[in-house]
Amino acid sequence: MTYKSHIETLAIHAGQEPDSATGAVITPIYQTSTYIQSEVGVLKGFDYSRTANPTRLALEQCLAALEGLELDQPTYGLAFSSGMAAIDTLLRLIKPGEHVLVSNDVYGGTYRLFERVLKEFGILFSYVDIGDPNQVEKNLREETRLVWLETPTNPLLKIADIAEILRRVKLFSPQILVAVDNTFASPYLQQPLAQGADFVIHSTTKYIGGHSDVIGGAIISKEAKHYEQLKFLQNSIGAVPGIMDCWLTLRGIKTLALRMERHSENAAKVSKFLNEHPAVDHVIYPGLVNHAGHLVAKKQMKMFGGMVSIILKGGENAARKMVEATRIFSLAESLGGVESLIEIPAVMTHASVAGSPLEVPAGLVRLSVGIESVDDLIADLDQALSTL
């Protein structure tokens, strides 16, 4: 029986053998655009850094190893200059006239790309509550080519039963592809490929990088034919990350397991505090037993993650007052860094869905709970809520 390393070990070592030239333990930054050829067409593995680069390859192999941990087959990773670049590249597999079924609580930037860019090229999009597998099944069409899931979703933290949705989708048509945006969970908490998904997508800017100092994206697939298609597109379109970005992301991955445990532990305690606060009308967190997707999340996730959303009794005005009163939680977009962030999605990260069926409640506050002392985080939220 072959021994398989755990994810904590893979995060530090997968794709990151000591440098063969110098013995350097940490993957070097190969800051080069081109590579010498000993003869015409005779390469040492690389020719041009848009096509491939040793630092980027190490990142891609590491991501593939993390997402493919629970599979007994090869997995393939590709890195991109942003999460949106990764999504756009994957959607190049869809042809005009084909249909994509999407979560109705999708990230605002994803919705903007689908509705205001790709729709103009004849791709059909419709939106459904992915928390209900019946709704997913009812909205599949003969022309459906891709089902796009986020779980947990952004920002309402809905949970998709990945295995059950996959079962129904593939029963309807084995030709339909399923992609899961795993950004909120990270590969440490959730393994969509093992549940049957064809693709996993990440904004590596978030939990994978983990330090709010780099922008990036990734696609991980389990079929060689899909990898070859996407690799061709990656090279042809050219939305690849810079080498320093790859190195920073790879460095961030090394502490992924430790960070995700702390994020999840802190978020669980913060959600409990908020759930009992008189100024809070409703707390949305998959770890709470009153969350509609709690049992599914418990089944398919190791922990419940670091994202918490709340609705205050005072509505939009109270939300604005609260987010401007925190001292440790920084009022900023993005998420998944070691520091705690707070925002109002309706006018910040999800402004692009305003006026659409995906519009976010104006009084919703989203918290990205960091790894600081949870006592300090709760005290900060308590003083901010006291201003109401």
Sign of the C-alpha dihedral computed for residues 365, 366, 368 and 374 taken in this order: positive
- Please report which confidence band the pLDDT of residue 87 belongs to, taking 50, 70 and 90 as the band edges: very high
Active site residue 50: yes
pLDDT value at 41 more than 90: no
Q: Mean pLDDT across the stretch 232-236?
A: 98
Q: Residues 144-159: pLDDT tens digits? A: 999 999 999 999 999 9
How many other C-beta atoms are found inside a 10 Å radius of the C-beta of residue 263? 29
Mark 302-332 as b/e (b = at least 16 C-beta within 10 Å).
Answer: bbbbbbbbbbbebeeebbbebbebbebbbeb
> Choosing from 56, 206, 320, 366, which is the catalytic residue?
206
Average pLDDT for the chain: 96
- What is the predicted pLDDT for the residue at 312? 96
C-alpha separations of 371 from 62, 64, 188, 204, 261 in Å: 24, 26, 16, 18, 9
Instruction: Say if strands 199-202 and 217-221 run parallel, antiparallel, or are unpaired.
Output: antiparallel
Residue 224: what are its φ and ψ, rounded to 5°? -60, -35
Answer whether residue 1 shows pLDDT above 60. no
The C-alpha angle 152, 175, 220, rounded to 5 degrees, equals 45
d(CA 265, CA 222): 31
Is the pLDDT assigned to residue 290 strictly greater than 90? yes
Residue 209 confidence (pLDDT) above 80: yes
Residue 181 falls in the annotated catalytic set = yes
| pLDDT at position 2 | 60
The active-site residue, picked from 50, 141, 269, 298, is 50
Q: Tell me if residue 107 is catalytic.
A: yes
Residue with the larger pLDDT of the pair 41 and 166: 166
Helix (H), strand (E) at residue 244: helix 243-253
Please give the average per-residue pLDDT across 236-250, as a whole number.
98
3-state secondary structure of 293: coil
Does residue 187 contact residue 69 with C-beta atoms inside 8 Å?
Answer: yes
| Rounded mean pLDDT, 221-245 | 97
- 76, 107, 188, 285: the active-site residue: 107
Using the 8-state DSSP alphabet, how is residue 35 labeled? -
Q: For residue range 321-362, list pLDDT tens digits in order.
A: 999 999 999 999 999 999 999 999 999 989 989 899 889 999
161 is annotated as an active-site residue? no
- pLDDT at position 21 is 85
- Residue ranges of domains in the chain, CATH in brackets: 7-253 (3.40.640.10), 258-386 (3.90.1150.10)
Coil vs helix vs strand at 357: coil
Instruction: Kindly indicate the confidence band of residue 379, based on its pLDDT and cuts at 50, 70 and 90.
Output: very high
CA distance 61 to 75: 9
Q: For the chain, give the percent of residues with pLDDT over 70.
A: 99
Q: In the numeric block, which tokens belong to residue 90? A: 């994957």
Nearest CA to 347 among 322, 370, 326, 319? 319
Q: Is the pLDDT of residue 74 over 90?
A: yes
Tell me which of 88, 105, 181, 245 is the catalytic residue. 181
Distance separating alpha carbons of residues 211 and 81, to the nearest angstrom: 16
DSSP β-ladder status, 280-284 and 217-221:
unpaired
Q: What confidence tier does 4 reach under pLDDT thresholds 50, 70, 90? A: confident
Give the model's pLDDT for residue 20: 85
pLDDT score, position 152: 98
Give the up-direction half-sphere exposure of residue 103: CA atoms within 13 A in the CB hemisphere: 27
Supply the pTM of this predicted model.
0.96
Decide: 308 and 283 in contact? Cβ < 8 Å. yes
* Count of C-beta atoms within a 10 Å radius of residue 254: 17
d(CA 98, CA 121): 11
Q: What percent of the chain has pLDDT over 90?
A: 94
